[in-house]
Amino acid sequence: MFDIIRYTPEKADIWNQFVAEAKNGTFLFDRNYMDYHSDRFNDHSLMFYEKNRLLAVLPGISVVMVISPIKD
């Protein structure tokens, strides 16, 4: 059974260590990079645990776009 936990800033070090040690880790998933751009999106990232062992991270965001009508 997995425990799925929503990411919070208090978990940044755990998240970053996991990404740094991952075979497919990339700077795009590093919390320093993601948090730098946090004013552009709402963070919905998840962390997957099994028996208190972090198995996966899933970056997730939502973006609200406001489009103004074009005036001639």
Region at 21 (left for phi over 0; alpha for psi -120 to 50; beta for the rest): alpha
Q: Dump pLDDT digits (tens) for 52-70.
A: 999 999 988 787 777 777 7
CB crowding 3-26: b at 16 or more within 10 Å, else e:
eeeebeeebeeebbebbeeeeeee
Q: Does residue 64 contact residue 44 with C-beta atoms inside 8 Å?
A: no
Q: Where are the domains of the chain?
A: 3-62
The pTM (predicted TM-score) of the whole model is 0.77
Q: How many alpha carbons lie under 13 Å from residue 44 in its C-beta half-sphere?
A: 6
pLDDT for the residue numbered 6: 95
Candidate from 7-11, 26-30, 56-60 with smallest mean pLDDT = 26-30
pLDDT band at 72 (very low <50, low <70, confident <90, very high): low
Q: Report d(CA 71, CA 45) in Å as an integer.
A: 38
